[in-house]
A and B are shown apart, each in its own frame.
Chain A
Amino acid sequence: MVRAEEAARLDRLESQVENGGGGAEEYLCLVRKLKARRSDKVLKHGLSILNDPKARSKLGGEEWTLYEQVAFAAMDCQQHDVAKDCIAILSKEFPGSTRVGRLEGLLLEAKGAWAEAEKAYERLLEDNPLDQLIHKRMVAIAKAQGDLSAAVNLLNKYLEIFMADHDAWRELAEIYMSLQMYKQAAFCYEELILSQPTVPPYHLAYAEVLYTIGGLENLQTAKKYYASTITLTGGKNTRALYGVCLCSIAINQLTKGRNKEEKEGSNLQSLAAEALQRDYKERAPKKLPLVISMLKNMKLNS
């Protein structure tokens, strides 16, 4: 997660570099640190540094990291020749290195040669069976080929060893969602919530999965998680506000026969409805009538 101040600094540096002011190395360093994906800018400025022998020698040891960064950016922008040159220079300097081997595998992936890329990665895995990045690349290959079930299998095997890697859990959750395996996706989101309990997106996603699965207990739990998202974001998350309203309606529909005392629920629901209306009034006043009529319908149905 990028902090706001660092993101602002990144934008500032980017505009400065774009407009001809110096500071390209600082910008590239910051991009590397924050793992931001600004491949076209990185490619442009990185290449300008690398092609200038004076600037290159000023970098010293950082030169090789810059080559790696530019190779990544080139592959992202589909400029395979540039990437190939960078990788060739790197492999001359560091022969037999795993990191360079990974870049070569990435280049094969970028060109679409899946089988060769897989073979290259398997060779690297023989020497370093515990290299996390290579495992993740194998999953990415499976996903890119559209073979989601193979990707799921690979990710599960990866997570059996590296079970504290929350990025992998997030990826697995997304794949499960796209495969509509909601219960498994819910499990993954639980893992994410366990590892980072104060991050609102995970609560929101978990609530949405529960709401999708349906059933009274799940709906009630989903409503609670929408509520926790509201708490964590101070009421500013529109989706959570909608979620609360919709959950309340669904619960009321399911419990129409029995006389449950969801009095507290209606309090939250009306507050959420009010907050929604105010939000729309401030940010999208044209859509406000739609929202009001929709909420009225919901109150009628409940």
Chain B
Amino acid sequence: MAEDLVLDTAIRDWVLVPLSVVMVLIGVLRYFVSKLMRSHQAPDLKVVKEGQVILRARNLRAASGFIPAKSFRSRKTYFTNEENGLLHVPKGQSQNAQAQMFSDPNLAMDMMKKNLSMIIPQTLTFAWVNFFFSGFVAAKIPFPLTQRFRGMLQNGIDLSTVDVSYVSSRSWYFLNLFGLRGLFSLILGEENAMDDTQRMMQMSGFGFDPSRSLSAEKDGIDIIQHDWALPKMEKRAEDALKKLLK
């Protein structure tokens, strides 16, 4: 049945706006707390060196066409040499990266802190929303949805005949959760626009795993065929000069 429900404007004043404001404030608070709690991790020599090696290897792959074949070959051996090449990681070491990451107390603490700072406010806000703002229709979504979304969006409303476009405040909470990233980037400056979705994605990847990227770069360099771009340059220079002289 598609009759139109008229929603009280008081809902907007007392539910939607306060919920958004609270979420923005919590995000800002979390940002400042994380800044306070951030422990200064002294960069490790090995990590820095590996980062730089990867950068250099990437440059080599990208611009290999610009240096003579001999130089390219010598650099290739330098990087991928089986005995002491920079990118060569002996098999035994590559498995240890994750174990190392757990055993290293600093890294583990850092990860835990980051996870906690995200999970706790989320849980609290969600519980608060459920407690105070459940059991009524909060908003109408402007486009029609299928019946599948009913369970997710209408959890407090126990009438099965209400159109799925009418959602509860829980869905408003989720909308804000994913959508406030733009607002945070305006308020907190460009680099701090991290919101929960990005943090969640970061949680699943276990941070910097150097040996994997090293072997990836090594394979990349091994594959590359040296295509010297310079001979074509002579022709192109001729054309450029011809154009200039015309």
Q: Which residues of A contact B (CB under 8 A)?
A: 129-130, 160-165, 187, 190-191, 193-195, 197, 221, 223-228, 230-231, 234-236, 244, 264-265, 267-268, 271-272, 274-275, 278
Contact = CB atoms under 8 A, between A and B. Distances in A.
Query: SS class of chain A's interface: helix, strand, loop or mixed?
Result: helix
Contacts of B245: 271, 274-275, 278
Interface residues on B, range: 20 to 34
Given A163-B49, A195-B59, 17 more contacts: A161-B49, A162-B49, A163-B53, A164-B51, A194-B56, A197-B66, A221-B68, A227-B236, A231-B233, A231-B236, A231-B240, A264-B234, A267-B238, A271-B245, A274-B241, A275-B244, A278-B245
Given A193-B67, A235-B244, A224 B59 contact: no
B36 interface: no
A61 to B, nearest CB: 15
Contacts of B52: 161-165
Nearest to B233: A228
Query: SS class of chain B's interface: helix, strand, loop or mixed?
Result: helix
B60 interface: yes
A274 B230 CA distance: 23
A224 B230 contact: yes
Contact of A224 (B48, B231, B240): B231
A161 B45 contact: yes
Given A161-B45, A162-B48, A275-B245, A194 B234 contact: no
Contacts of B237: 226-228, 230-231, 235, 244, 268
A159 to B, nearest CB: 9
Interface string B46-90: 001101110110011011101110010000000000000000000
Contacts of A231: 233, 236-237, 240
A163 B56 contact: yes
Contact of B56 (A164, A234, A272, A274): A164
Contacts of B68: 221
B242 interface: yes
B67 A190 contact: yes
Nearest to A267: B238
A243 B205 CA distance: 52
B43 interface: yes
A101 B125 CA distance: 47
Given A164-B52, A187-B71, A193-B67, A228 B242 contact: no
B178 to A, nearest CB: 34
Interface string B195-227: 000000000000000000000000000000000
